[in-house]
Copies of this chain bind each other. A is one copy, B any other.
Amino acid sequence: MDILIAMPLPEKSLIQGIRRAVRASGKSVRVGIGDDCAVLRPPRGHEILVTTDFTLEGIHFRREWHSPEVVGRRCLTRGLSDIAAMGGEPLAVFLSVALPGKLPQKWVDGFMRGLLALARECSAPLAGGDTAQSPQGILADIVVLGTVPKGTAVLRSGARPGDRVYVTGELGGGSAALKDFFAGRKPHAQDFPRHFHPVPRLAVGEFLRSREIATGMIDLSDGLSTDLGHICKESGVGAEIVADDIPRARVGRERERVDLTLALHGGEDYELLFTAPARKRVPASIAGVSVTAIGCITRAKRVVLRGSTGAIQALKPQGWEHFRG
Protein backbone atom coordinates (compact mmCIF):
# COMPACT_ATOMS: atom_id res chain seq x y z
CA MET A 1 0.00 0.00 0.00
CA ASP A 2 3.00 2.29 0.44
CA ILE A 3 4.04 3.33 -2.97
CA LEU A 4 6.92 5.74 -2.65
CA ILE A 5 8.86 4.42 0.33
CA ALA A 6 9.32 1.08 2.04
CA MET A 7 7.60 -0.24 5.14
CA PRO A 8 9.31 0.44 8.46
CA LEU A 9 9.87 -2.34 10.94
CA PRO A 10 7.24 -1.20 13.50
CA GLU A 11 4.58 -1.37 10.84
CA LYS A 12 5.16 -5.03 10.09
CA SER A 13 4.94 -6.00 13.73
CA LEU A 14 1.91 -3.76 14.12
CA ILE A 15 0.13 -5.73 11.41
CA GLN A 16 1.05 -8.93 13.23
CA GLY A 17 -0.31 -7.47 16.46
CA ILE A 18 -3.54 -6.50 14.75
CA ARG A 19 -3.79 -9.96 13.15
CA ARG A 20 -3.47 -11.61 16.56
CA ALA A 21 -6.11 -9.33 18.02
CA VAL A 22 -8.42 -9.89 15.09
CA ARG A 23 -8.18 -13.65 15.38
CA ALA A 24 -9.64 -13.37 18.88
CA SER A 25 -12.52 -11.18 17.72
CA GLY A 26 -16.23 -11.84 18.18
CA LYS A 27 -18.87 -13.54 16.08
CA SER A 28 -20.01 -10.29 14.47
CA VAL A 29 -16.72 -10.20 12.52
CA ARG A 30 -17.00 -12.82 9.76
CA VAL A 31 -13.76 -11.82 8.01
CA GLY A 32 -11.16 -9.60 9.70
CA ILE A 33 -7.73 -8.56 8.48
CA GLY A 34 -6.23 -10.46 5.53
CA ASP A 35 -8.78 -9.60 2.84
CA ASP A 36 -9.64 -6.49 0.81
CA CYS A 37 -12.38 -5.62 3.32
CA ALA A 38 -13.56 -6.84 6.68
CA VAL A 39 -16.97 -8.52 6.55
CA LEU A 40 -19.30 -7.73 9.46
CA ARG A 41 -22.60 -9.36 10.31
CA PRO A 42 -24.72 -6.85 12.24
CA PRO A 43 -27.75 -8.07 14.23
CA ARG A 44 -31.09 -8.08 12.36
CA GLY A 45 -33.28 -5.00 12.55
CA HIS A 46 -30.38 -2.77 13.56
CA GLU A 47 -28.88 0.35 12.04
CA ILE A 48 -25.14 0.92 11.73
CA LEU A 49 -23.36 3.76 13.57
CA VAL A 50 -20.04 5.02 12.19
CA THR A 51 -17.56 7.45 13.72
CA THR A 52 -13.99 8.35 12.74
CA ASP A 53 -11.49 10.32 14.84
CA PHE A 54 -7.92 11.35 14.22
CA THR A 55 -5.32 11.14 16.97
CA LEU A 56 -2.24 13.06 15.82
CA GLU A 57 1.05 13.50 17.61
CA GLY A 58 1.56 17.15 18.59
CA ILE A 59 -2.16 17.87 18.21
CA HIS A 60 -3.92 15.31 20.39
CA PHE A 61 -1.00 14.01 22.42
CA ARG A 62 2.67 14.50 23.06
CA ARG A 63 5.08 11.64 23.47
CA GLU A 64 6.79 13.41 26.38
CA TRP A 65 3.44 13.81 28.19
CA HIS A 66 1.60 10.60 27.44
CA SER A 67 2.75 6.99 27.71
CA PRO A 68 2.01 4.84 24.63
CA GLU A 69 -0.61 2.89 26.64
CA VAL A 70 -2.42 6.15 27.48
CA VAL A 71 -2.30 7.30 23.84
CA GLY A 72 -3.76 3.98 22.67
CA ARG A 73 -6.52 4.08 25.26
CA ARG A 74 -7.43 7.72 24.57
CA CYS A 75 -7.39 7.09 20.82
CA LEU A 76 -10.07 4.39 21.08
CA THR A 77 -12.03 6.28 23.76
CA ARG A 78 -12.74 9.05 21.24
CA GLY A 79 -14.59 6.61 18.99
CA LEU A 80 -16.35 4.52 21.65
CA SER A 81 -17.61 7.66 23.38
CA ASP A 82 -19.35 8.70 20.14
CA ILE A 83 -21.06 5.29 19.99
CA ALA A 84 -22.16 5.75 23.64
CA ALA A 85 -23.63 9.16 22.80
CA MET A 86 -26.02 7.54 20.29
CA GLY A 87 -27.05 4.86 22.79
CA GLY A 88 -25.29 2.25 20.65
CA GLU A 89 -23.32 -0.91 21.18
CA PRO A 90 -19.84 -1.33 19.58
CA LEU A 91 -19.71 -3.69 16.59
CA ALA A 92 -16.10 -3.43 15.40
CA VAL A 93 -13.04 -1.18 15.52
CA PHE A 94 -10.68 -0.28 12.65
CA LEU A 95 -7.30 1.34 13.17
CA SER A 96 -5.42 3.20 10.46
CA VAL A 97 -2.01 4.12 11.70
CA ALA A 98 1.04 5.75 10.13
CA LEU A 99 4.31 5.51 12.01
CA PRO A 100 7.64 7.28 11.57
CA GLY A 101 10.44 4.91 10.51
CA LYS A 102 12.46 5.43 13.69
CA LEU A 103 9.67 4.77 16.19
CA PRO A 104 10.81 2.25 18.84
CA GLN A 105 9.03 -1.10 18.75
CA LYS A 106 8.32 -0.67 22.47
CA TRP A 107 6.17 2.37 21.76
CA VAL A 108 4.07 0.50 19.21
CA ASP A 109 3.58 -2.44 21.59
CA GLY A 110 2.49 -0.11 24.40
CA PHE A 111 0.07 1.75 22.14
CA MET A 112 -1.57 -1.48 21.00
CA ARG A 113 -1.68 -2.75 24.61
CA GLY A 114 -3.57 0.36 25.78
CA LEU A 115 -5.94 0.31 22.83
CA LEU A 116 -6.68 -3.43 23.02
CA ALA A 117 -7.23 -3.35 26.79
CA LEU A 118 -10.06 -0.84 26.32
CA ALA A 119 -11.36 -2.77 23.29
CA ARG A 120 -11.65 -5.87 25.48
CA GLU A 121 -13.32 -3.95 28.34
CA CYS A 122 -15.95 -2.71 25.89
CA SER A 123 -16.34 -5.91 23.81
CA ALA A 124 -15.32 -3.97 20.71
CA PRO A 125 -13.33 -6.33 18.44
CA LEU A 126 -10.50 -4.88 16.35
CA ALA A 127 -11.40 -6.02 12.83
CA GLY A 128 -8.83 -4.37 10.56
CA GLY A 129 -7.34 -1.12 9.38
CA ASP A 130 -4.41 0.18 7.40
CA THR A 131 -0.75 0.84 8.12
CA ALA A 132 1.64 3.22 6.42
CA GLN A 133 4.92 4.99 7.00
CA SER A 134 4.45 8.51 8.31
CA PRO A 135 6.53 11.36 6.92
CA GLN A 136 6.47 12.89 10.42
CA GLY A 137 4.93 11.99 13.76
CA ILE A 138 2.51 9.28 14.78
CA LEU A 139 -0.86 9.48 13.00
CA ALA A 140 -3.82 7.32 13.96
CA ASP A 141 -7.38 7.32 12.68
CA ILE A 142 -9.78 5.25 14.74
CA VAL A 143 -13.00 4.09 13.12
CA VAL A 144 -15.68 2.56 15.32
CA LEU A 145 -18.83 0.90 14.02
CA GLY A 146 -21.75 0.35 16.35
CA THR A 147 -25.31 -0.89 16.16
CA VAL A 148 -28.60 0.34 17.50
CA PRO A 149 -32.14 -1.03 16.99
CA LYS A 150 -33.70 0.63 13.93
CA GLY A 151 -34.88 4.17 14.54
CA THR A 152 -33.80 4.37 18.19
CA ALA A 153 -30.43 6.18 17.98
CA VAL A 154 -30.43 9.19 20.31
CA LEU A 155 -29.59 12.23 18.18
CA ARG A 156 -28.36 15.72 19.01
CA SER A 157 -31.52 17.10 17.44
CA GLY A 158 -34.06 15.66 19.89
CA ALA A 159 -33.94 18.22 22.75
CA ARG A 160 -37.26 20.04 23.37
CA PRO A 161 -38.12 23.19 25.39
CA GLY A 162 -38.93 22.16 28.97
CA ASP A 163 -36.54 19.16 28.90
CA ARG A 164 -34.03 18.96 31.74
CA VAL A 165 -30.30 18.89 30.95
CA TYR A 166 -28.19 16.20 32.63
CA VAL A 167 -24.53 15.22 32.67
CA THR A 168 -22.89 11.97 33.77
CA GLY A 169 -19.92 11.89 36.15
CA GLU A 170 -17.96 15.04 36.90
CA LEU A 171 -16.61 17.64 34.51
CA GLY A 172 -13.24 19.32 34.02
CA GLY A 173 -11.14 16.33 35.02
CA GLY A 174 -10.09 15.56 31.45
CA SER A 175 -8.64 19.00 30.84
CA ALA A 176 -7.21 19.63 34.31
CA ALA A 177 -4.22 17.41 33.51
CA LEU A 178 -3.60 19.30 30.26
CA LYS A 179 -3.72 22.60 32.14
CA ASP A 180 -1.00 21.24 34.41
CA PHE A 181 1.08 20.06 31.45
CA PHE A 182 0.85 23.49 29.82
CA ALA A 183 1.88 25.10 33.13
CA GLY A 184 5.03 22.97 33.16
CA ARG A 185 3.85 20.64 35.92
CA LYS A 186 3.87 16.84 35.65
CA PRO A 187 0.41 15.55 36.56
CA HIS A 188 0.37 11.99 37.91
CA ALA A 189 -1.86 9.48 36.17
CA GLN A 190 -3.56 8.33 39.40
CA ASP A 191 -4.52 11.94 40.28
CA PHE A 192 -6.21 12.58 36.90
CA PRO A 193 -7.96 9.32 36.01
CA ARG A 194 -10.35 10.93 33.50
CA HIS A 195 -7.39 12.19 31.45
CA PHE A 196 -5.09 9.18 31.69
CA HIS A 197 -7.66 6.41 31.95
CA PRO A 198 -10.92 7.57 30.35
CA VAL A 199 -13.88 5.18 30.31
CA PRO A 200 -16.49 5.66 27.57
CA ARG A 201 -20.03 5.67 29.03
CA LEU A 202 -21.42 2.87 26.87
CA ALA A 203 -23.64 1.25 29.53
CA VAL A 204 -25.14 4.63 30.49
CA GLY A 205 -25.86 5.54 26.87
CA GLU A 206 -27.52 2.20 26.20
CA PHE A 207 -29.64 2.50 29.37
CA LEU A 208 -30.83 5.99 28.42
CA ARG A 209 -31.74 4.83 24.91
CA SER A 210 -33.38 1.52 25.76
CA ARG A 211 -35.49 3.06 28.57
CA GLU A 212 -36.43 5.90 26.23
CA ILE A 213 -35.23 8.47 28.76
CA ALA A 214 -32.95 10.68 26.65
CA THR A 215 -34.47 12.95 23.98
CA GLY A 216 -31.08 14.33 22.88
CA MET A 217 -27.52 13.26 23.67
CA ILE A 218 -23.88 14.15 22.93
CA ASP A 219 -20.55 13.16 24.43
CA LEU A 220 -18.50 15.83 26.18
CA SER A 221 -15.35 15.79 24.08
CA ASP A 222 -15.02 19.51 23.27
CA GLY A 223 -16.25 20.97 26.57
CA LEU A 224 -19.71 21.59 28.07
CA SER A 225 -20.15 25.06 26.53
CA THR A 226 -19.28 23.84 23.02
CA ASP A 227 -21.13 20.52 23.16
CA LEU A 228 -24.29 21.97 24.72
CA GLY A 229 -24.14 24.53 21.91
CA HIS A 230 -24.17 21.64 19.40
CA ILE A 231 -27.27 20.09 21.02
CA CYS A 232 -29.07 23.47 21.02
CA LYS A 233 -28.12 24.26 17.43
CA GLU A 234 -29.16 20.87 16.07
CA SER A 235 -32.41 20.91 18.11
CA GLY A 236 -33.25 24.55 17.36
CA VAL A 237 -33.55 25.41 21.06
CA GLY A 238 -31.69 27.25 23.87
CA ALA A 239 -30.65 26.26 27.38
CA GLU A 240 -30.22 27.67 30.86
CA ILE A 241 -27.51 26.04 32.97
CA VAL A 242 -27.08 26.55 36.74
CA ALA A 243 -23.42 27.10 37.62
CA ASP A 244 -23.73 25.73 41.16
CA ASP A 245 -25.28 22.49 39.89
CA ILE A 246 -22.40 21.55 37.57
CA PRO A 247 -20.53 18.61 39.12
CA ARG A 248 -16.87 19.67 39.19
CA ALA A 249 -14.23 16.94 39.09
CA ARG A 250 -11.86 16.43 42.02
CA VAL A 251 -8.27 16.14 40.82
CA GLY A 252 -4.69 16.20 42.06
CA ARG A 253 -3.25 14.66 45.18
CA GLU A 254 -5.58 16.72 47.41
CA ARG A 255 -8.63 15.88 45.34
CA GLU A 256 -9.53 19.54 44.97
CA ARG A 257 -12.49 20.51 42.81
CA VAL A 258 -11.52 22.05 39.46
CA ASP A 259 -12.43 25.66 38.64
CA LEU A 260 -15.81 26.33 37.09
CA THR A 261 -13.96 27.45 33.94
CA LEU A 262 -12.53 23.98 33.40
CA ALA A 263 -15.90 22.31 34.06
CA LEU A 264 -17.57 24.68 31.57
CA HIS A 265 -15.02 24.80 28.77
CA GLY A 266 -12.49 21.99 29.31
CA GLY A 267 -12.81 19.13 26.86
CA GLU A 268 -12.06 15.43 26.80
CA ASP A 269 -14.16 14.41 29.76
CA TYR A 270 -15.93 11.80 27.60
CA GLU A 271 -18.98 12.06 29.86
CA LEU A 272 -22.47 12.21 28.35
CA LEU A 273 -24.70 15.26 28.21
CA PHE A 274 -28.36 14.43 27.60
CA THR A 275 -31.80 15.94 27.79
CA ALA A 276 -34.95 14.29 29.13
CA PRO A 277 -38.56 15.42 29.60
CA ALA A 278 -39.15 16.97 33.08
CA ARG A 279 -41.73 14.26 33.91
CA LYS A 280 -39.24 11.40 33.27
CA ARG A 281 -37.66 9.80 36.34
CA VAL A 282 -33.90 9.90 35.82
CA PRO A 283 -31.89 7.73 38.23
CA ALA A 284 -29.22 9.54 40.29
CA SER A 285 -26.80 6.84 39.23
CA ILE A 286 -26.73 4.62 36.13
CA ALA A 287 -24.33 1.69 35.77
CA GLY A 288 -22.35 3.07 38.71
CA VAL A 289 -21.99 6.55 37.17
CA SER A 290 -23.60 9.58 38.86
CA VAL A 291 -26.14 11.59 36.87
CA THR A 292 -26.75 15.28 37.67
CA ALA A 293 -29.39 17.76 36.46
CA ILE A 294 -27.65 21.03 35.56
CA GLY A 295 -30.37 23.09 33.88
CA CYS A 296 -33.13 23.04 31.32
CA ILE A 297 -33.86 23.52 27.62
CA THR A 298 -35.56 26.80 26.66
CA ARG A 299 -37.41 28.19 23.69
CA ALA A 300 -35.03 31.18 23.40
CA LYS A 301 -32.26 30.22 20.98
CA ARG A 302 -29.37 31.08 23.29
CA VAL A 303 -27.40 29.29 25.96
CA VAL A 304 -27.11 31.10 29.30
CA LEU A 305 -25.45 30.41 32.64
CA ARG A 306 -27.15 31.30 35.95
CA GLY A 307 -24.49 32.20 38.53
CA SER A 308 -24.56 31.83 42.34
CA THR A 309 -26.06 35.33 42.75
CA GLY A 310 -28.85 34.55 40.31
CA ALA A 311 -27.31 36.75 37.61
CA ILE A 312 -27.55 35.38 34.09
CA GLN A 313 -24.82 35.60 31.42
CA ALA A 314 -24.41 34.22 27.92
CA LEU A 315 -22.50 30.92 27.78
CA LYS A 316 -20.46 31.07 24.60
CA PRO A 317 -18.78 27.94 23.20
CA GLN A 318 -15.14 28.24 24.19
CA GLY A 319 -13.88 24.69 24.19
CA TRP A 320 -10.17 24.36 23.93
CA GLU A 321 -9.39 27.79 22.59
CA HIS A 322 -9.40 28.89 26.19
CA PHE A 323 -6.16 27.12 27.06
CA ARG A 324 -4.06 28.36 24.23
CA GLY A 325 -0.98 30.53 24.61
Contact = CB atoms under 8 A, between A and B. Distances in A.
A139 interface: yes
B148 A54 contact: no
28 contacts: A1-B54, A1-B221, A2-B59, A2-B60, A2-B320, A4-B60, A4-B62, A6-B324, A30-B47, A35-B157, A36-B83, A36-B85, A37-B83, A39-B86, A39-B148, A41-B150, A50-B94, A52-B94, A52-B130, A52-B141, A54-B98, A56-B98, A56-B135, A57-B135, A98-B139, A135-B137, A136-B136, A139-B139
A183 interface: no
A59 B135 contact: yes
A262 to B, nearest CB: 13
Interface string A122-144: 00000111101111110101010
Interface in A247-275: 267-268
A56 B321 CA distance: 28
A90 to B, nearest CB: 11
Interface in A266-296: 267-268
Interface in A175-200: 178
A304 to B, nearest CB: 23
Contacts of A3: 59-60, 178, 267-268, 320
Closest 6 pairs (CB-CB, A-B)? A36-B85, A141-B141, A37-B49, A36-B82, A40-B48, A58-B135
**Which secondary structure dominates chain A's binding surface?**
mixed
A172 interface: no
Nearest to A7: B321
A37 B59 contact: no
Contacts of A219: 36
- Give this chain's copy count: 2
Q: Which of A30, A31, A35, A44 has the most CB of B within 10 A?
A: A35
Nearest to A267: B3
Contacts of A86: 35-37, 39
A238 interface: no
A128 B2 CA distance: 25
A156 interface: yes
